[in-house]
């Protein structure tokens, strides 16, 4: 059962299993273990960023391509839901429409970027995604009629997700909303885990290790790379939709900015590239650090994380998970 659920990709280390279990239980019981608006907000952010980092790991860790446009897809998903809820009213039908619209835009953009740049070299892809993402960021803050500009959009969530909704004693709409975010995130992570442990995932890793050889064996590397980038884009868009459904406001700073891109990079590399569990641990660490460590270490905590990032790339390319698995 567990084996099937984790797609035969067990933690393979006692400590890693313990850490993952603590994270799972902590998130599953967050509304009751850590009451309070702030900690619930942090828990929801952790869920969203786990999905975002995991989908980025599909690109960086498994396929070996660097994209700087991952937050762009995240933002597209968030704006899809936000625009639908603003324009069409706070119903589930507009949520569905927003999610589908965001997904469609994200996938089409990913295909276009992939076809343009993935047949060349990874370095091209990195630069072109950076350029496109910055254009979209500027576009989002310029087209204020649609996106609300720099201020973003504030909108009402569907009735069942509002704080004022109280179906039972002690259960509010926020808690329902949290469980929506949590369960969808969990499902997405398991789906990604399934994907990287499938034959498709093996082809991706073959491409990462040696693209020429993979091509020579008969796999069209362009097709596989483009597929991987589409799947990653779609998952990131879903993560964005979750964030939009959680926070009832969407603006460029929280969904599109390069600060978030840097955060995702840090999460995946420090947690461990090439394992989904690494993305999970990295996301938990970074979101916790952002919300609680800042007070302890001071303003320059990003400096130390940057140093840790460089050291990780040099000395621990498999990150925390790799270290845990080695013992």
Partner 1 sequence: MKRDWIPLLLIPVLAAAALPLVGSPASWVTLTVAGLAMGMMIFVMASGLTLTFGLMDVLNFGHGAFIAVGAFVAATVMLALGPWMQADSLWLNLAAFLPAILAAMAVSGGLGLAFERVIVRPVYGQHLRQILVTTGGLIVAEQLLKVVWGPDQITLARPTALRGALLFGDIAIEKYRLLAVIVGLIVFAALALTLNRTRIGLLIRAGVENGEMVEALGYRIRRLFVGVFAVGSALAGLGGAMWGLYQETVTAAIGGQVIVLVFIVIIIGGLGSVGGCFVGALLVGLTANYIGFLAPKVALGSNILLMALILLWRPQGLYPVAKR
Query: Which residues lie near partner 1 (CB under 8 A)?
Result: 60, 64, 66, 116, 120-124, 126-128, 130-132, 134-135, 138-139, 142-143, 258, 262, 265-266, 269, 299-300, 302-303, 305-307, 309-310, 313-314, 317
CB of 143 to partner 1, least distance (A): 7
Q: Which is nearer to partner 1, 62 or 277 (CB)?
A: 62
DSSP state of 9: -
Count Cβ atoms within 10 A of the Cβ of residue 323 and give its class: 0-12 exposed, 13-18 middle, 19 or more buried: middle
Q: Which is nearer to partner 1, 136 or 175 (CB)?
A: 136
Q: Which is nearer to partner 1, 94 or 275 (CB)?
A: 275
DSSP state of 157: P
Residues in the chain: 327
Residue ranges in the chain assigned as alpha helix (H): 2-5, 14-28, 30-33, 37-57, 70-88, 92-117, 122-142, 144-147, 173-196, 199-209, 211-217, 221-247, 252-255, 258-271, 276-288, 294-297, 301-315, 319-326
**44: Cα separation from own chain's centroid:** 12
Q: Which is nearer to partner 1, 125 or 155 (CB)?
A: 125
DSSP β-bridge partners for residue 250: 153
CB of 6 to partner 1, least distance (A): 27
The backbone torsions φ and ψ at residue 47, rounded to the nearest 5 degrees and listed phi first, read -60, -50
Q: Which is nearer to partner 1, 269 or 287 (CB)?
A: 269
Q: Please give the Cα distance from 182 to 178 (Å, whole number).
A: 6
Q: Among candidates 193, 225, 238, which has minimal Cα distance to 59?
A: 225
Q: Which is nearer to partner 1, 17 or 262 (CB)?
A: 262
Q: Which is nearer to partner 1, 24 or 310 (CB)?
A: 310
Q: In Å, what is the CA distance from 135 to each residue of 103, 105, 141, 219?
A: 19, 15, 10, 33
CB of 31 to partner 1, least distance (A): 34
Q: Which is nearer to partner 1, 22 or 303 (CB)?
A: 303
Sign of CA dihedral 129, 319, 223, 198: negative
Q: Please give the Cα distance from 249 to 85 (Å, whole number).
A: 10
Q: Among candidates 161, 192, 158, which has minimal Cα distance to 88?
A: 158
Q: Please give the Cα distance from 214 to 226 (Å, whole number).
A: 15
Q: Which is nearer to partner 1, 21 or 139 (CB)?
A: 139
């Amino acid at each position: 059962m567990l084996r099937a659920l984790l797609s035969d990709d067990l933690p393979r280390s006692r400590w890693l299993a313990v850490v993952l279990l603590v994270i799972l239980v902590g998130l599953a019981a967050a509304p009751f273990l850590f009451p309070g608006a702030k900690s619930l907000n942090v828990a929801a952010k952790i869920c969203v960023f786990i999905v975002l980092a995991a989908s980025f790991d599909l690109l960086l860790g498994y396929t070996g391509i660097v994209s700087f446009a991952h937050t762009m897809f995240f933002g597209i998903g968030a704006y899809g839901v936000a625009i639908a809820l603003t324009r069409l009213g706070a119903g589930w039908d507009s949520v569905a429409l927003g999610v589908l619209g965001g997904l469609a835009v994200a996938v089409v953009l990913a295909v276009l970027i992939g076809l343009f740049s993935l047949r060349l070299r990874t370095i091209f892809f990195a630069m072109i995604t950076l350029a496109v993402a910055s254009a979209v960021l500027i576009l989002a803050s310029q087209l204020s009629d649609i996106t609300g500009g720099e201020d973003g959009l504030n909108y009402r969530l569907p009735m069942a997700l509002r704080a004022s909704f109280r179906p039972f004693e002690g259960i509010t709409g926020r808690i329902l909303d949290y469980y929506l975010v949590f369960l969808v995130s969990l499902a997405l992570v398991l789906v990604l885990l399934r994907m990287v442990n499938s034959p498709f995932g093996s082809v991706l890793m073959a491409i990462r290790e040696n693209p020429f050889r993979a091509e020579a064996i008969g796999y069209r590397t362009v097709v596989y790379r483009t597929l991987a980038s589409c799947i990653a884009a779609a998952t990131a868009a879903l993560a964005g939709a979750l964030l939009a459904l959680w926070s009832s406001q969407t603006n460029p700073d929280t969904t599109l900015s390069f600060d978030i891109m840097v955060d995702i990079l840090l999460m995946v590399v420090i947690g461990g590239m090439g394992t989904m569990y690494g993305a999970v641990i990295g996301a938990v660490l970074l979101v916790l650090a952002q919300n609680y460590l800042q007070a302890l270490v001071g303003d320059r905590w990003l400096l130390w994380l940057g140093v840790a990032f460089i050291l990780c790339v040099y000395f621990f390319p498999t990150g925390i998970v790799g270290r845990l698995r080695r013992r």
